[in-house]
Amino acid sequence: MFRPENAQSLVGLALTLAICWALSEDRRRFPWKLALGALAVQVGLVLLLFGLPSARLVVEGANGVVDSLAASTAQGTQFVFGYMGGGQQPYAVTNSGALFVFAFQVLPLILVISALSALLWHWHILKWITRGFGFVFQRTMGLGGASALAVAANIFLGMIESPIVIRAYLDKLSRSELFLMMVVGLATVAGSTMVAYALLLKATLPGAAAHVLVASIVSAPAGVLLARIVVPEKAGQGGYYADYTSLLKYDSSIDAISKGTMDGLSVVLNISAILIVFVSLVAIGNSLLGLFPDVMGAPLTFERMLAVIFAPLAWSLGVHWDEAFKAGYLLGVKLMLTEFIAFIQLGAVPLGEMSERTRMILTYALCGFANVGSVGITVTGMGTLMPQRRGEIIGLVWKALVAGFLATCMTAAVVGAMPRELFGQ
């Protein structure tokens, strides 16, 4: 049933397209056909994954997979860290809520998923899934083979790992294709962090794992569209065929597990360091802002500033105005800090303080790597793979950040425009 709240989300959809058009390098070349195709792919994927009974069962099964992975990971964590990792407590517990330690109960899951992803890639399972999505994107949105494959890889791999998949073609990519790869990398998340996000939201959002999985898949077409709007493809460029037999490789299953674990360790260390630094910087900023006089009867804080700036955007995505400031704050946290901090804070919002619809919309809006910290990661990672194009990457990265951030907002708006009955609400 279509409601006023669904029409409200259409405002957000139009807003994301308008902002990217305003940033376009050639406003006369708006890709109307691609816009219709990308929206059709997004709507089609959501209807398929949530509307088709058999597909819905598979997607909803993701929640059980997350539970199983979390329980299995807990065995290894408890073996290494004992009671700090959730094992048997040596003392009487008076506050069970304090037993949750992020470093021991969420981050180890990234190690396991990273190793498992590398193993599935070596066994060609993940490779064929990626190839299937690449074929869909190539046929429905007119992408070249290399670009389509990189976009598909971004759904499951990280924003730096996916370019490795088409490393042989990086020097042949046009400016528009390079920008597209950057935007989609920032608009999606890696499989390793995807499961961690689902774990953080599990207690407050029904079907959290399904929403996080679908969010990363559906944001890829949004990233393609917004990238093409900002940096249009010139006639005669792109279209390189990707050789699926010469992709990222491992020597054996043990080699895949070992390298996957080391890659996961790098991600865990980066996340840990970023969380420590950014949370500390916010605390320092709030202390400095506390020196100013109160504004509207309350101390000026980083959180209040972000809430005011991003509340209109949150409303346009379909969030009720009563919750727009809280939602806007989380959007600001995602952009200025990291999506990890935003998901942690979203998962910590008590059930009675935010509606299920708002939680669902925010899950889609937050599910992407587009944050200020990722700018450095993008420049460093892609600059290493393409040193001769480092200057071009630096010149495009801030536009890519805006487009990647808006791509997840566009996905949230598309989901918000659909009847809530589709999602069992």
Q: Tens of pLDDT along 42-101? A: 888 888 878 777 666 766 676 677 778 777 888 888 888 887 777 777 777 666 555 566
Q: Between helices 107-122 and 253-289, what is the axis angle to 10°? A: 150
> What pLDDT sits at residue 307?
85
Q: What is the pTM of this model?
A: 0.83
Q: In this predicted model, what pLDDT tens digit does every residue of 363-386 receive, in sequence order? A: 999 998 888 878 877 887 778 778
Give the C-alpha separation, 425 to 55, whole Å. Answer: 18
Neighbour tally for 139: CB within 10 Å: 12
Q: What's the angle, vertex CA 41, arms to CA 36 and CA 44, rounded to 5?
A: 115
Q: Which residues contact 356 (CB under 8 A, 6 or more apart)?
A: 205, 206, 425
Average pLDDT, the chain: 82
* Burial call 82-110: b when 16+ CB within 10 Å, e when fewer: eeebbbeeeeeeeeeeeeeeeebbbbbbb
Percentage of the chain surpassing pLDDT 70? 89
Contact 169, 240 (CB under 8 A): yes
The domain segmentation of the chain, as residue ranges, is: 4-83+100-423
Is the pLDDT at 415 greater than 80, yes or no?
Answer: yes
- 209 pLDDT band, cuts 50/70/90, is confident
- The pLDDT, as a whole number, for residue 80 is 83
How buried is residue 305: exposed, middle or buried, by Cβ count under 10 Å (0-12/13-18/19+)?
middle
Check pLDDT > 50 for residue 102. yes
Q: Is the pLDDT of residue 38 over 80?
A: yes
pLDDT over 90 (residue 337): no
Phi, psi at residue 309, to the nearest 5°? -65, -45
